[in-house]
């Protein structure tokens, strides 16, 4: 396998690394955001429930 890429190993492999790292972050970010949004929403609903019936619901 031509891992050295002639004299251009640094440039070629850096480009591959940038491509993979940026897209990895782009893939993980929305998954984390979805989980965070679900958690926030759950907390909001719990607060509303609490206000309606103080002291009864704990979640």
Partner 1 sequence: MANWVPLWLHRLGSPPVFYRFAGAVRPWALGLALVLGAVALYAGLFVAPADYQQGDAYRIIFIHVPSAWMSLFIYGAMAVAAFVGLVWRIKIAEVVAMESAPVGAAFTLITLVTGSLWGKPMWGTWWTWDARLTSELVLLFIYLGIVGLYHSFEDRRQGARAACFLVLVGAVNVPIVHFSVNWWNTLHQGSTVRLVGPSHIEASMLWPLLTMMVATKLYYIASLFARVRADLIASEGGKAWVRDLLVREGGAA
Does residue 33 interact with partner 1 by CB under 8 A? yes
Structure-token pair, residue 59:
């979640």
Does residue 7 interact with partner 1 by CB under 8 A? yes
Does residue 22 interact with partner 1 by CB under 8 A? yes
Cα angle at 51 between 39 and 34, to 5 degrees? 10
Choose between 31 and 55: whose C-beta lies nearer to partner 1.
31
CA distances from 12 to 8, 22, 29 (A): 6, 16, 26
Binding site for partner 1 (CB under 8 A): 1-2, 5-8, 11-12, 14-16, 18-19, 22-23, 25-27, 29-31, 33-35, 37-42, 44-45
């Amino acid at each position: 396998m031509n891992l050295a890429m002639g004299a251009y190993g640094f440039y070629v492999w850096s480009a591959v690394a940038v491509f993979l790292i940026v897209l990895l972050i782009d893939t993980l970010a929305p998954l984390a955001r979805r989980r965070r949004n679900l958690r926030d929403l759950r907390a909001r609903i719990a607060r509303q429930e609490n206000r309606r019936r103080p002291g009864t619901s704990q979640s």
